Amino acid sequence: MTELEKCMEHLIIIFHRYTVDGDGKSLSKKQLKKLLESELPTFSKSQKNPHLVDCIMKDLDLNKDDRLDFEEFLPLVAGLSMACEKCYVTKERKTKQ
C-alpha cells in the first residue's frame, strides 16, 4: 500500500473505532466529542467555544439525524487539513527566507 492509501485506511479505521458503541456506521454527538478529544486534542483544546461539538454537528449533519456518517464526517477532516496545509506553506515560506 502507498503512504496515501495507508492514510485513507487509517482515517476509516479511526472513524469506525468511535462508532462501536452505537450503530457501527455513524457517530453520535457523544462519540464525536470523544473522537475530537482523543484524536485531535490540540484542535479541541485550542477552541474557545464551549459548544464546539454542537456547532460541528449542526454544520455537518446533512440529513439532520443527529449522527455523522463517514461522508458527513469527511468535510471536518478536509477542512482541518486545509487549514493545517496553509500553516505548513506559511512556515515553509518563512524558513526559505
Determine contact, residues 76/56, Cβ cutoff 8 Å: yes
pTM score of the predicted model: 0.86
pLDDT tier at 22, thresholds 50, 70, 90: confident
State yes or no: pLDDT of 97 exceeds 80: no
pLDDT, residue 95, reads 80
Segment 28-38 mean pLDDT: 96
